[in-house]
Amino acid sequence: MVEKNRKILSGIVETIILCGKQNIALRGHEDDFGNFRVLLHYQAKYNQVLFEHLNTCNPRTKYTSPQIQNELISICGKIITDDLVAECNDAGVFGFMADEATDAATMEQMSLCVRFVDKTTSTVREEFLGFSSTTSTTGEVLANAFIDILTKLGVRTENMRGQGYYGASNMSGIHRGVQARIRQLIPETVYTHCKAHCLNLAIIHASKERYSKNMMDTVQQVAFAFSYSAKRLLLFQETLADDNISREAMAERTKLRSLCATRWSARADALHTFLASYSGHGVRSAFSGAWRHEGGRVQNGCTDIRFYCDSRGSRACSTGLVPLSNVLQAEECDLVKAVTDTRVVYALLQAERADDIVWDSLYDKSVGIAREVDIQPSAPDTLEGSRIVQMFRQIMLVRFGRETCIFLSWTIC
């Protein structure tokens, strides 16, 4: 009887583990037709003991109720966490990392990870231990929550030698931040601001330039317009199917990529997709066929030569930053490698910035795309200059009189 019950329980646990590995929910809108029950009955076709149990046993001892499922999930999670904690403690020292995460219910949580060197394989490992739900995001509350959770999990907190977070004041503050409060408890813990986050912040600040921001907004509106309309998307795919060059340049993609709201380094792919499809008349043809009010306004933004110059320049810069961002997020990356690779990319961007050939090439490509869509290069308008002149004339009119104002404004023009 014990052997039979173990076979039954093993089949149930294996089904739960399979759902966890495939990242699918166990239960659906109707419990009798959830993923767990369907997979369990499918497994019973090839397991006679499990088949008899599901069809002939007492419903109260079936071990498939939602309560039993949750209990088995907790047991599996605890076994996995205990193994990770044991390996972390065996490493001797470790680094602690935490980041903010918001779930589908818009509940703010903190993801907790440890970083250590595996003695058996001599490789760096980053392992996720769980989430921490907090009612407050102050440095004191978060620091106490982190230490309490690590202690409950069995992690030897005295072995912590590093900590890494993003750069918000509640995390990186030198007096009341999480890193400062943890260093009060464990002085050996060195705080390191996430280097990939530093790069992301640098890209965000660089993209605040007005023309670059307007170009990004236009690309985003174009992507949204095609993503949220089945008719527009169908027309776009039909025009793209007739353009082999654009289809190959888009790497067989059939949709425009929207700009990532948080990871700005990932915007290079969206810009590449947009330019590849637009230069091949895919987006432009869909403009005229499907857009009315909103499309006309956005299309006017795409008829300026500065839009193509900004998009080409932004894509050229971000293309070199994407590999760096991936390197900074890799598990095997350390501080020395991060600094070395960053200096290489920095030197590359500086060299391209000072090279007139690079600028001429970007401009020629921008002009080429503009001419493909019947847009002729033209000098920038003088709207800003006229506004400055008008403002200057008003100031001079108040201070020096009308004659002096006319003379000075004529001289400026």
pLDDT of residue 285: 62
- The angle that helices 282-290 and 210-227 make with each other, rounded to 10 degrees, is 70
Identify the band that residue 287 occupies on the pLDDT scale cut at 50, 70 and 90: low
pLDDT one-digit tens code per residue, 32-51: 678 898 899 899 999 899 99
Backbone angles phi, psi at 106, to 5 degrees: 60, 35
Q: Are residues 177 and 274 in the same domain?
A: no
pLDDT of residue 301: 64
CA atoms of 19 and 63, how far apart (whole Å): 17
Q: Are residues 360 and 390 in the same domain?
A: no
Q: Are residues 284 and 342 in the same domain?
A: yes
* 208-236: average pLDDT: 78
pTM of the entire predicted model: 0.72
Q: Are residues 358 and 233 in the same domain?
A: yes
Identify the band that residue 392 occupies on the pLDDT scale cut at 50, 70 and 90: very low
Residue 319 forms part of a structural domain: yes
pLDDT of residue 136: 79
Which distant-in-sequence residues (6+ apart) come within 8 Å of 145 by Cβ? 110, 132, 134
Lowest mean per-residue pLDDT among 65-74, 110-119, 284-293, 390-399: 390-399
pLDDT of residue 286: 64
pLDDT of 411 over the 50 cut = no
Q: Are residues 187 and 262 in the same domain?
A: no
| Cβ atoms of residues 181 and 113 within 8 Å | no
Identify the band that residue 322 occupies on the pLDDT scale cut at 50, 70 and 90: confident
pLDDT of residue 74: 93
Lowest mean per-residue pLDDT among 128-132, 244-248, 331-335: 244-248
Please say which residue of 172, 193, 214 terminates a domain: 193
Residue 277 forms part of a structural domain: yes
Identify the band that residue 320 occupies on the pLDDT scale cut at 50, 70 and 90: confident
pLDDT of residue 160: 94
pLDDT of 382 over the 80 cut = no
pLDDT one-digit tens code per residue, 251-271: 666 677 777 777 777 777 778
* 346-350: average pLDDT: 87
Please say which residue of 64, 96, 111 terminates a domain: 64
CATH number of the domain within which 123 lies: 3.30.420.40
Residue 350 exposed, middle or buried by CB count within 10 Å (0-12, 13-18, 19+): exposed
Please say which residue of 162, 193, 224 terminates a domain: 193
Residue 121 forms part of a structural domain: yes
Q: Are residues 334 and 228 in the same domain?
A: yes
Residue 259 forms part of a structural domain: yes
Residue 69 forms part of a structural domain: no
Q: Are residues 12 and 139 in the same domain?
A: no
Residue 220 forms part of a structural domain: yes
Domains in the chain: how many in total?
4
| Cβ atoms of residues 10 and 43 within 8 Å | no
* 343-351: average pLDDT: 88
Q: Are residues 86 and 58 in the same domain?
A: no
* 73-82: average pLDDT: 93
Q: Are residues 186 and 303 in the same domain?
A: no
Residue 87 forms part of a structural domain: yes
Q: Are residues 104 and 209 in the same domain?
A: no
DSSP 279-346: HTTHHHHHHHHH--HHHHHHHHHTTSHHHHHHHHHHHHHHHHHHHHHHHHTSTT--HHHHHHHHHHHH
Residue 149 forms part of a structural domain: yes
pLDDT of 394 over the 90 cut = no
Q: Are residues 336 and 256 in the same domain?
A: yes
310: domain range? Answer: 202-372
Q: Are residues 180 and 241 in the same domain?
A: no
Mean pLDDT score across all residues of the chain? 79
The more confident residue out of 326 and 282 is: 326
